[in-house]
Structures are given as C-alpha cells and as structure tokens.
C-alpha cells in the first residue's frame, strides 16, 4: 500500500530517530544551496539568457554553441566562487562526523558547498562546476576555476574542453555505488529538490521496491514546497533547509 505522506511545516515534526548503527542516505538538490545565494534551477531555469536549462545543459547545446554554454558555466563559476555554506551544509558535515561509514551523501548539485562545510565524502552524481574535462579524449577531468567568456579552451588533443558536469541525456556518475547504498539504507532523506529530474527523483521509489535487511527504509523530504515525487515519501517536512536541517536528526 502506498503510504499517505504527511505534508506539513517542518516545525510540526519530532527529530528523526537515528539509532546507533542505522544507515542514512541523504540526497541534496539545489534547494540546499539557495540560502547560500546559489540560484536554484527552477528560479534560474526559464530566465537564463532566454534559454531553458534543458537546452543549454545538453551535449547538443554544447555542439551547437559551445561559447554560449561556456558563458553559462563561467557565470556560475564566478558566482559560486564567493558563496559560503549555510547551516544545512554544516549539519550534514556534522552528521558525517557522527555516523562515519553509515552515512552516504549524494548531491545533484555541482557547487562545492558541501566540501566547503567540511563534508569529506560527497558523491557528485551530476559532476562538479569547478572541474573541466576534454569533450573527446579520456584525459581525466581536472580542477579548473577559470572562466571562459571569449576564447574557447582546448585540450592538448585539439578537441574542445567542457565543464565536467553531467548534462541532460548523459549518464549520471557513480550510479552503482549510489544504488548499493540506497538498497542498504534504513533512512533516506532528500533535501531541496523539486523531484523533476531522473534518475535522482526516482531514488525514493527504488526504496519502495527494495527492502533492506531491516525492512523498508523510511523516506523523508525536507524542502520549501511539496516536490513532484511527494507521494513516494513517508513525510514531507516543509521549510527552509538552513532552518530545519540543524535539528532534523535525533542521534542516539
Ligand atoms: C539520464 C548538472 C539516462 C548540470 C543537471 C522524460 C521523462 C522523464 C525523464 C526524462 C524525460 N526526458 C528526458 C529524461 C531524462 C532526464 C530528465 O529527467 N529530464 C527532466 C527535465 C524531465 N534526465 C537525464 O537526462 C539524466 N540522465 O537520464 O541518463 C540514464 C538514466 C538512468 C541510468 C543511466 C542512464 C541526467 C540529468 C542530469 C542533468 N544535469 N545538473 C548543471 O548543473 O548545469 S540537472 C539539474 O537540475 C540539477 O543537477 C538537478 O538534478 C536538477 C533539478 O534541480 P533540483 O536540484 O531539484 O532543483 P530545482 O530548482 O528543480 O528545485 C529546487 C527545490 O528546492 C525546489 O523544490 C524548491 O522548493 C526547493 N527550495 C528552494 N529554496 C529552498 C528549498 N528547499 C529548502 N530550503 C530552501 N531554502
Ligand atoms: Zn583531449
């Protein structure tokens, strides 16, 4: 039977019980970085230079107009350079310290805010803004804070360099490790994601089909508005991540 999600302001819920040894999987989306001043997709999506994100963040978009795409990512690099983590990022860095290997942090975000808050094991399933890779050869992706507003960067092999992010139509990174951790977790929390983009938005329904060794995991959403996949969660705790995360986990 499909659980009826409790959707209510976060303040109405008690902290999530996390017994010793419980395995916790947290998936974060653009909403966790919003209070740090990083625009979410739904905010920036339709407005960006009259292009939809789905049009510029694609291999075809890069093929069509690499300069436009590099401007889009260079602008985001410039803005992300100065931003600071907020209490939501700090809360997850603290949780990693407390839970160690029982904690799995997967982010859809390409910003480095989890790392800046002190998180050490962050799975960036959609890649990273401050890394660049070759669009053709298998030279490994490398750290790159540069902005490319004019000249297009090229690899030694002659091909164009591109942001080391996962575009629409491309396969997300580390899916095997993600699904292994998903299948083993006891508590699944999504923070700040509209639930519009797959396969990330489908992680929570994967839980419904796979019972871990201790029965089905509990699934909780934390974010400003009801996500598109709200029906898959046991609870939707509405509010700002920076306000709800610090007291979300009741560690035992
Ligand atoms: C793939 C990196 C095959 C680049 C990104 C038709 C139907 C279903 C699926 C598809 C379809 N057609 C195509 C697809 C597949 C497609 C897809 O899902 N498209 C959508 C548009 C329908 N997906 C793909 O192409 C993916 N690849 O499918 O490959 C495959 C599949 C499985 C296995 C193997 C192969 C690749 C998708 C990755 C694209 N790259 N980012 C970059 O960053 O530039 S996606 C990008 O948008 C983000 O990374 C994120 O994943 C996504 C959505 O963003 P959110 O994080 O959810 O942010 P959003 O703005 O939407 O929402 C913010 C939320 O925060 C809101 O709910 C808001 O209420 C809340 N909020 C705001 N402020 C706060 C807050 N919450 C808390 N506190 C606050 N203060
Ligand atoms: Zn190359």
Q: Could you read off the pLDDT of 68-112 as tens digits, one per residue?
A: 999 999 999 999 999 999 999 999 999 999 999 999 999 999 999
**Ligand nearest to the backbone CA of 154:** 2
Whether 33 and 89 share a structural domain: yes
Ligand 1 mutation target, pool 11, 26, 30, most atoms within 8 A of CB: 30
Whether 103 and 16 share a structural domain: yes
Whether 78 and 88 share a structural domain: no
Whether 233 and 154 share a structural domain: no
Who surrounds ion ligand 2 at CB < 5 A? 134, 137, 139, 155, 157, 159
How far does the centroid of ligand 2 lie from the alpha carbon of residue 83, in Å?
A: 31
Average pLDDT over residues 10-39: 96
Whether 51 and 88 share a structural domain: no
What global pTM score does this model have? 0.96
Give catalytic residues, as residue numbers: 126
The strand pairing partners of 154, in sequence order, are 160
Whether 30 and 137 share a structural domain: no
User: What values do phi and psi take at 42, rounded to 5?
Assistant: -65, -30
Both tokens of residue 211? 């019972």
For 155-166, the three-class secondary structure string (H helix, E strand, C coil) is CCCCCEEEEEEC
Indicate whether residue 10 lines ligand 1 (CB < 6 A).
no
Ligand 1 mutation target, pool 41, 86, 200, most atoms within 8 A of CB: 41
**Ligand nearest to the backbone CA of 157:** 2
Whether 107 and 23 share a structural domain: yes
Indicate whether residue 241 lines ligand 1 (CB < 6 A).
yes
Whether 136 and 19 share a structural domain: no
Asked if residue 225 is part of any domain, the answer here is yes
Q: What are 124-158's pLDDT values in tens digits?
A: 999 999 999 999 999 999 999 999 999 999 999 99
Question: Is 50 a residue whose pLDDT tops 80?
Answer: no
Burial class (CB within 10 angstroms; exposed 0-12, middle 13-18, buried 19+) of 38: buried
Burial class (CB within 10 angstroms; exposed 0-12, middle 13-18, buried 19+) of 248: buried
How far does the centroid of ligand 2 lie from the alpha carbon of residue 121, in Å?
A: 28
Residue 251 binned pLDDT confidence (cut-offs 50, 70, 90) = confident
Whether 25 and 48 share a structural domain: no
Both tokens of residue 196? 């519009």
Residue 45 binned pLDDT confidence (cut-offs 50, 70, 90) = low
Indicate whether residue 196 lines ligand 1 (CB < 6 A).
yes
Minimum mean pLDDT among 4-8, 123-127, 212-216: which range? 212-216
Question: Is 2 a residue whose pLDDT tops 80?
Answer: no
Alpha helices (H) along 82-184: 87-99, 113-116, 175-184
Number of domains in the chain: 2
**Ligand nearest to the backbone CA of 27:** 1
Question: Is 52 a residue whose pLDDT tops 60?
Answer: yes
Whether 236 and 111 share a structural domain: yes
Query: The domain that contains 139 carries what CATH number?
Result: 3.30.1600.10
Q: Whose CA is nearest to atom 33 of ligand 1?
A: 171
Q: What is the sign of the dihedral through the CA atoms of 56, 176, 219 and 116?
A: negative
Q: ∠ CA 15-17-18 to the nearest 5 degrees? A: 125
Q: Whose CA is nearest to atom 35 of ligand 1?
A: 171
How far does the centroid of ligand 1 lie from the alpha carbon of residue 15, in Å?
A: 28
Q: Report whether 181 contacts 104 (CB < 8 A).
A: yes
Question: Is 46 a residue whose pLDDT tops 70?
Answer: no
Indicate whether residue 42 lines ligand 1 (CB < 6 A).
yes
Whether 99 and 224 share a structural domain: yes
Query: The domain that contains 235 carries what CATH number?
Result: 3.40.50.1220
Domain membership of residue 154 as a residue range:
41-82+130-165
Indicate whether residue 225 lines ligand 1 (CB < 6 A).
yes
Whether 118 and 90 share a structural domain: yes
In this prediction, residue 65 carries a pLDDT of 94
Neighbours of 216 (CB within 10 A): 15
How far does the centroid of ligand 1 lie from the alpha carbon of residue 58, in Å?
A: 13
Cα-based distances in Å from 243 to 80, 182, 209, 227: 22, 26, 32, 18
Asked if residue 1 is part of any domain, the answer here is no
Which of the listed ranges 45-59, 162-176, 211-225 does the model predict with the highest average pLDDT?
162-176
């Amino acid at each position: 039977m499909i659980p009826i999600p409790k959707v209510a302001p976060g303040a109405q819920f008690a902290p999530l019980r996390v017994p010793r040894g419980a395995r916790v999987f947290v998936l974060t989306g653009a909403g966790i970085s919003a209070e740090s001043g990083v625009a979410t997709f739904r905010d920036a999506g339709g407005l960006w230079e009259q292009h939809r994100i789905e049009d510029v963040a694609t291999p075809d978009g890069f093929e069509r107009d690499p300069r436009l795409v590099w401007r889009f990512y260079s602008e985001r690099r410039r803005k992300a350079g100065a931003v600071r983590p907020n209490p939501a990022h700090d809360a997850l860095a603290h949780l990693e310290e407390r839970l160690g290997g029982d904690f799995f942090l997967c982010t859809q975000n390409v910003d480095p805010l989890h790392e800046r808050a002190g998180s050490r094991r962050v799975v960036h399933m959609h890649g990273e803004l401050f890394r660049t890779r070759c669009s053709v050869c298998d030279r490994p992706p490398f750290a790159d804070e540069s902005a490319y507003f004019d000249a297009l960067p090229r690899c030694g092999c002659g091909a164009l360099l591109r942001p080391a992010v996962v575009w629409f139509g491309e396969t997300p990174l580390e899916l095997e490790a993600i699904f292994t951790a998903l299948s083993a977790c006891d508590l699944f929390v999504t923070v700040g994601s509209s639930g519009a983009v797959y396969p990330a938005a489908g992680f929570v329904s994967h839980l419904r089909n796979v019972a871990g060794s201790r029965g089905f995991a509990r699934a909780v959403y934390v974010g400003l508005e009801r996500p598109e996949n709200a029906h898959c969660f046991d609870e939707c705790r509405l509010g700002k991540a920076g306000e709800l995360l610090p007291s979300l986990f009741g560690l035992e």
